[in-house]
């Protein structure tokens, strides 16, 4: 029995340390939530929906998803470079204003915000209007969801940006997921895993997009 005491003490010390770490992270997160910046100078543009501020904060544009630029060995998506350039034209080396919604920080530690130019234009909306980004829908709608979806529908019908410049391979039908609001090609293995309860079928990709679903990154429908 005496040999087990050191192990017990070691276990208690470990648990105490873990509790301290968790408490510290909790306090840090809540402290940061109360002091989010309301503005900042954009010093770098990573792609069509993410920028870096001079204070070191990364900002992810809330409610939109731009095509990817090249990463490592993966080539850029269609209109990925054009979206980054358009975003840079709007905000690079400019002081922008930030507005927040329900979700303020994502799982990567990036600020989630609506970004406004010095003259008051909402960049999230302008990128969607021009066809450089699609709506990134959540189960709990953000305040500008309807506005951005209306702008996306307008851009699709007018064939602006990627909606007129990209020609993905067709599919007999598309499988949407009501929980993630992502849609897949009919042959996509991830699409086939969508449960019957969450599944919705679209006859065209345009129908899925107009309903606020976004293309899956795995099969790029």
Q: Are 96 and 42 in contact (CB under 8 A)?
A: yes
- Give the whole-angstrom CA distance, residue 213 versus residue 136: 8
**Annotated catalytic residue 157:** no
pLDDT in tens, 129-185: 999 999 999 888 899 999 999 999 999 999 999 999 998 988 999 999 999 999 999
Q: Which of 32, 97, 110, 153 is catalytic?
A: 110
- Identify whether 97 is a catalytic site residue: no
pLDDT for position 139: 81
pLDDT on residue 16: 46
- Interval 189-200: pLDDT, tens: 999 999 999 999
The rounded distance, in Å, linking the Cα atoms of 131 and 97 is: 22
pLDDT of residue 35: 86
Question: By the 8 A CB rule, do 119 and 157 touch?
Answer: no
Q: Is the pLDDT of residue 219 over 80?
A: yes
Find the catalytic residue in 60, 84, 160, 205: 60
Q: What is the 3-state secondary structure (H, E, C) of the chain?
A: CCCHHHHHHHHHHHHHHHHHHHHHHHHHHHHHHCCCCCEEEEEEECCCCEEEECCCCEEEECCEECCCCCECCECCCCCHHHHHHHHHHHHCCCEEEEECCCCCECCCCCEEEEEECCCCCEHHHHHHHCCCCEECCCCCCCCCHHHHHHHHHHHHHCCCCHHHHCCCCCCCCEEEECCCCEEEECCCHHHHCCCCCCEEEECCHHHHHHCCCEECCCCCC
Number of Cβ atoms within 10 Å of the Cβ of 50: 18
The pLDDT score that the predictor gives to residue 5 is 43
What's the pLDDT score for residue 22? 40
pTM (two decimals): 0.82
| pLDDT the model gives residue 36 | 96
Query: Residue 60 catalytic?
Result: yes
- pLDDT, one tens digit per residue, over 24-44 is 344 334 444 458 999 999 999
pLDDT of residue 7: 53
* pLDDT score of 1 more than 60: no
pLDDT over threshold 60, residue 69: yes
Q: Are 182 and 176 in contact (CB under 8 A)?
A: yes
Across the chain, what does the average pLDDT equal? 88
Buried b (16+ CB within 10 A) or exposed e, 52-74: bbeeebebbbbbbbbbbbeeeee
Q: pLDDT, tens digit, for every residue of 171-186?
A: 999 999 999 999 999 9
Asked if 88 and 123 touch (Cβ cutoff 8 Å), the reply is no
């Amino acid at each position: 029995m005496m040999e087990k005491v050191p192990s017990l003490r070691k276990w208690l010390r470990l648990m105490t340390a873990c509790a301290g770490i968790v408490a510290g992270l909790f306090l840090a997160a809540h402290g940061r939530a109360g002091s989010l910046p309301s503005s900042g100078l954009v010093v770098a543009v990573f792609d069509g929906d993410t920028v870096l501020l001079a204070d070191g904060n990364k900002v992810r544009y809330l409610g939109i998803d731009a095509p990817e630029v090249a990463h490592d060995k993966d080539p850029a998506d269609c209109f990925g470079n054009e979206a980054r350039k358009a975003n840079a034209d709007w905000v690079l080396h400019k002081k922008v204003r930030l507005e927040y919604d329900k979700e303020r920080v994502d799982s990567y530690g990036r600020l989630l915000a609506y970004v406004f130019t010095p003259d008051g234009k909402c960049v999230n909306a302008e990128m969607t209007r021009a066809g450089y980004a699609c709506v990134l829908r959540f189960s709990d709608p953000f305040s500008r969801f309807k506005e951005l979806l209306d702008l996306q529908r307008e851009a699709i019908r007018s064939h602006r940006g990627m909606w007129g410049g990209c020609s993905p391979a067709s599919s007999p039908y598309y499988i949407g997921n009501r929980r993630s609001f992502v849609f897949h090609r009919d042959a996509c293995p991830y699409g086939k895993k969508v449960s019957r309860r969450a599944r919705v079928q679209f006859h065209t990709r345009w129908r899925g997009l107009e309903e606020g679903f976004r293309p899956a990154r795995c099969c790029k429908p």
